[in-house]
Amino acid sequence: MTVFSRLKTLNPVSVLSFIVCIYGLLNVMPAIGDFRVGPFPMVFFRASFFALCVLVIGLAMIAKSRQQRFAPFSAVMSVLATIGAVWSCWSFYKISGSLDDMMFLFGEREMWTAVIASSASIYFCWRIWGLPVALLGIFGVLYMATGHHWPAPFQTVNRDVPEMLAQNLLFSLDTGILGSTFSIVVTTVFPFIILGAVLEGVGAGDSMIRIAFHWMRKTAGGPAHAAILSSALFGTVSGSAVGNVVGTGVITIPMIKRRGFTPNFAGAVESAASTGGQIMPPIMGAAALVMADFVGVSYMTVVIAVLIPSIAFYGSLFASVVFESRRLGIKPQDKVDGVDAPNRQDYLNLALIFIPLVVIVLLLTNGMSPSGASIAALALMFPLSFINPEIRKKPLQLIKCLSVGGRTFAGLLMAIAAVSIVISALSATGVPIKFGVLLSSLVSDSLLISLLLTAVCCIVLGMGMPTLPAYVTVATIAIPAMQQLGLAPLTAHMFVFFIAVGSVITPPVAIAAFAAASISKGGPVGTSITASRIGIMIFVIPFAFAYNPELLTVSQAGAEFDFLAWSWLLVRLAFGIILTVSALSFFHVKRLSLLEVSGRLAAAVMLLSPIEYWNIVGAILGTCLWAWHLRQSANGASMPLMTAKNNKT
């Protein structure tokens, strides 16, 4: 088949997705000498880019509706939403482009235009991301329209409703669907989404999994440890927990089950490890990129700050597998059935991942913006991808990767549109300030209660939502109050970021755990509970660096770096992780009693306390419990609770 005949077979969605990719990259591409393409005029670009993304999603929905139960209704709704959104983008361009030159009075026509744009965005968001995110958008619109009728302290200033809706939903460059959040996501997150799509598509994923299995073959956890390692590497590229589960879990989860672990544990390991990919430098998830803009620090500062916490989290996952292997009596094996040993090409393919990542780190270190660094790495990827013979045979695969990246971002943008509506409602009505005052009055000087309330809020909002919308929503509401209680902006944002990442494995709506359960054939709720147990440190570590900001290493976290204090903190963190993980596994060398479990958890809490006295008490208590357990185990048999043979069911 010739190149032209292959191009003819491309469907409209793929073509438009490719256009979205190229158009967005041209807008954020840095100058090369005197040559410069973008950025395009702000109002024109925002309107046209969002319209292109809507067309991509709308056409995809129309094509997909043929396979659905209510096909005619779905198709009609998708057509109406697409037309309405595109027309609203045209109105935004005509009206917002003239606001600098004259005063514009928003009336009912502009209000209904903004409502149509919001409705279309919420509809597409519902179809792609589910009901929770869409309900947030609906609540934002209703609250702006009716807030002046609400009781105190939720009552808003009585303003002209048409003007409020028109300006805060659409016709503003600071708020609304096409406001500042849209700008940050496009200029910062978009290039990394495209880079991640290309990195996934050039063929290094399978090689990475084979190498991980080969390296971990002699550990008792075997495939479980390999799943953690491969998901960490894969996750820092994809930045998506669910995408990570689907990409690596189809291979790792059956292998974990075959080694003797339960289906729930197999799915839990993969979902927890995949979730951690969003906090694994240097790329991480989209929320980390937005965080750098929100806090006003360089992205490299965020990378350095998150390095130790991310390593600690993955260390806790490795420890969980070790204790679970002991509990089940699983022994190491020299060979992993079903996975070929890596060959020379597999190791060559690793260059497709690590060379671009090194380039990104070097460019960030030398002061280049995240978007510029990602585009430079993307440009390097095209010649570098020919290392893979599959790409040499089918070079058009690179165009397909760009198309996939464009479509992925178009879908993400629908969720961002819904969350932007919520942010606009909150900022226009003053809720974040009221919430901060209310929270401060409730908790007085208690940072712990403030952190607990914020964590609960973040987990609830994160149920069924992508990490980025969950992070942005909670950050808007809770972070001002956290800063009033003494947390540095970077530490406060990092706290919300970690909890938002972890919300995808917490029941009852744990989208990453549910995706893993569909592969492992385990129970969705059981898998999410097990994932929360073995991934508990993603919720504990934020409290640790909130009280010990030197854990984040950088001065912007609110503490000056001192090597001795930092080293002692790392020792305490490592010991606390082992105590916590073994306690929640109810096993060390043999089964732990309830008293031992309680003592280990208490010691771990004291180890992570900011008070030095409690650190010493925790270290002594933990050491005594550890030594006593080893002595008791040496005096008696340390039989596992069940053998791998009996556990295969």
Residue ranges per structural domain of the chain:
562-637
Q: Are 45 and 24 in contact (CB under 8 A)?
A: no
Residue 577 confidence (pLDDT) = 94
Q: What tokens appear for 69 in the block? A: 């139960």
Residue 644 confidence (pLDDT) = 43
Residue 193 confidence (pLDDT) = 82
Average pLDDT for consecutive 10-residue bins of the chain (649 residues)? 49 87 84 66 89 92 73 84 92 75 68 91 86 82 82 67 83 84 82 81 75 76 80 67 72 82 90 86 76 85 91 93 88 66 80 82 78 84 86 85 88 85 76 61 67 81 70 78 82 90 80 81 86 92 92 88 90 94 91 92 93 93 93 67 44
Give the pTM: 0.76
Q: Is 192 exposed, middle or buried (0-12, 13-18, 19+ CB in 10 A)?
A: buried
338 contact partners, CB below 8 Å, separation of at least 6: 254, 255, 258
Q: Are 520 and 266 in contact (CB under 8 A)?
A: yes
Beta strands in 151-303 (DSSP E): none
CA Rg value for the chain: 26
The CA dihedral of 605, 608, 612, 615, to the nearest 10 degrees, is 50
How many Å separate Cα 485 from the centre of its chain?
A: 27
Residue 249 confidence (pLDDT) = 78
Nearest C-alpha neighbor of 424 from the set 168, 84, 178 = 168
**CA-CA distance, 451 to 263, in Å (whole number)?**
34
Q: What b/e readout covers 574-613, taking b as 16+ CB neighbours within 10 angstroms?
A: ebbbbbbbbbbbebbebebeeebbebbebbbbbbbbeeee
Residue 81 confidence (pLDDT) = 92
Residue 14 confidence (pLDDT) = 87
Does a cis peptide bond (omega within 30 degrees of 0) precede residue 342? no
Q: Are 479 and 546 in contact (CB under 8 A)?
A: no
Residue 1 confidence (pLDDT) = 44
Residue 434 confidence (pLDDT) = 63
Would you list the DSSP string of 274-340?
A: HHHGGGSTTT--HHHHHHHHHHT--HHHHHHHHHHHHHHHHHHHHHHHHHHHHHHT----S--TTSP
Q: How many CB atoms lie within 10 A of CB 158?
A: 9
